[in-house]
């Protein structure tokens, strides 16, 4: 029996993603982004994102089906991000997915955006070892998750208590006069800088702090104050050194906590995911520390780390294979859907 063909819809933020997957095989990953429309605001504007999803949805579906070389009638199941994310943006994806599921008379699976970031790794590296630990870092989330069963059980161990890592990158980039989103320009600038030039703080690393939670608000403020002091004194700001030192502080905390969580829970597989997982220093330091600790590190390609429809289809495929019941037709969006709810 051939594995089911699943189409996945992702609209939780500013990327309109439609992916087509058969089992663990990626057939298509079509993407439309509205990031350029948000750039002048220095962040994502929910109303603009929702309207952009509306405009991009049908052409993106057509592109994905053409890329996969399949017809709509070939689809066996429809998966869609039900949360967490921007409510208005989520509703566009849900409306589209419901329409296709109804028109094709196929089951609908509303999935968790964070669990989908873990599932996408299976498209590149095959079935996930269970249990695994997942470190998800993006513009909206920084989470450490224990994954005993990707289709049914995901347990949060730690999260950011204030700014997500990606948010801190965007804010530091703004301080340094870099464009939005801030991750790629900081990564590029950091290559020319000294990561040990400035000793920026590492939040929540004291003996009494929550072992797996992270905090980047203090780090972001420390960078802004350091830059401000240099400018006030009429001294040049060494942008490359600031970028490298800030990036090092983020990567240091995230990888140290992830490795500690693996050791504490007796888990020897770590998955790195989310948009910030495309950062070159985070990937390199994770590789170095996992190798030293005897942990197998799995990192999807940078394109699969950022939001996309393939990750939603991948999780949908896993749910179908595990025999999980489909969602009800009145499935709604949940902007703060907890990661424990893999599907709803």
Which are the contacts of 342, defined by CB distance < 8 A and separation ≥ 6? 111, 112, 115, 150, 151, 152, 153, 154, 315, 319
Q: By three-state DSSP, how is residue 209 classified? A: coil
113 is in an annotated binding site: yes
Residue 112 labeled ligand binder: no
Q: Is 138 known to sit in a ligand binding site?
A: yes
| Contact (Cβ atoms closer than 8 angstroms) between residue 92 and residue 85 | no
- Whether 162 has a binding-site annotation, put simply, is no
Residue 234 bridge partners (DSSP): none
Q: How do beta strands 15-22 and 5-10 pair?
A: antiparallel
For residue 179, the number of C-alpha atoms closer than 13 Å in the C-beta half-sphere is 9
Which residues have C-beta within 8 Å of that of residue 263, sequence separation ≥ 6?
Answer: 293
Q: Which residues sit opposite 153 in a β-bridge?
A: 149
Q: Does 117 belong to an annotated binding site?
A: yes
**Is the Cβ–Cβ distance between 31 and 60 less than 8 Å?**
yes
- C-alpha–C-alpha distance, residues 94 and 316, integer Å: 14
Residue 241 assigned ligand-binding role: no
Q: Any binding-site annotation on 136?
A: yes
Give the whole-angstrom CA distance, residue 54 versus residue 58. Answer: 8
Contact 182, 174 (CB under 8 A): yes
223 labeled part of a ligand binding site = no
* Cα-based angle 97, 154, 202 (whole degrees, multiple of 5): 110
Q: Is 307 annotated as a binding residue?
A: yes
Angle (CA) 95 100 105, round 5°:
125
CA separation for the pair 129, 111 (Å, rounded): 20
Q: Is 187 annotated as a binding residue?
A: yes
Sign of CA dihedral 338, 276, 281, 273: positive
Residue 139 assigned ligand-binding role = yes
Q: Is residue 183 annotated as involved in ligand binding?
A: yes
What are the residues whose beta carbons fall under 8 Å from the beta carbon of 77, sequence distance 6 or more?
4, 5, 6, 7, 106, 107, 108, 109, 316, 317, 320, 326
List residues forming the annotated binding site for substrate.
Answer: 136-140, 170, 183, 187, 279
List residues forming the annotated binding site for Fe cation.
Answer: 113, 117, 307
List residues forming the annotated binding site.
Answer: 113, 117, 136-140, 170, 183, 187, 279, 307
């Amino acid at each position: 029996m051939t594995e089911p063909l699943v189409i996945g819809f992702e609209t939780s933020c500013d990327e309109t993603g439609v992916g087509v997957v058969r089992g663990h095989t990626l057939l298509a990953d079509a993407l439309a982004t509205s990031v350029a429309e948000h750039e002048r605001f220095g962040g994502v504007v929910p109303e603009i994102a929702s309207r952009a999803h509306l405009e991009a949805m049908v052409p993106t579906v057509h592109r994905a089906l053409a890329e996969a070389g399949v017809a709509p009638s070939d689809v066996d199941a429809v998966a869609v991000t039900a949360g967490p994310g921007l409510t208005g943006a989520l509703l566009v994806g849900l409306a589209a997915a419901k329409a296709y599921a109804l028109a094709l008379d196929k089951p609908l699976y509303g999935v968790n955006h964070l669990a989908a970031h873990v599932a996408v790794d299976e498209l590149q590296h095959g079935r996930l070892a269970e249990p695994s630990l997942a470190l998800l870092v993006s513009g909206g989330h920084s989470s450490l998750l224990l994954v005993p069963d990707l289709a049914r059980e995901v347990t949060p161990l730690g999260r950011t208590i204030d700014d997500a890592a990606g948010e801190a990158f965007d804010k530091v980039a703004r301080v340094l006069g870099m464009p939005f989103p801030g991750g790629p320009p900081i990564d590029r600038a950091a290559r020319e800088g000294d990561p040990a030039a400035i000793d920026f703080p590492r939040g929540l690393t004291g003996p009494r702090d929550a072992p797996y939670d992270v905090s980047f608000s203090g780090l972001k403020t420390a960078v802004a104050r350091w830059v401000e002091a240099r400018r006030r004194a009429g001294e040049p700001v060494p942008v490359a050194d600031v970028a490298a030192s800030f990036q090092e502080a983020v990567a240091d905390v995230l990888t140290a906590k992830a490795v500690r969580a693996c050791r504490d829970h007796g888990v020897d597989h770590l998955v790195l995911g989310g948009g910030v997982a495309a950062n070159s220093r985070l990937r390199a330091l994770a590789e170095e520390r996992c190798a030293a600790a005897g942990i197998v590190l799995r990192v999807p390609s940078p394109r699969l780390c950022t939001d996309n429809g393939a990750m939603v289809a991948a999780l949908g495929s896993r749910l179908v294979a595990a025999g999980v019941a489909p969602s009800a037709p009145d499935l709604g969006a949940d902007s703060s859907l907890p990661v424990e709810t893999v599907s709803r």
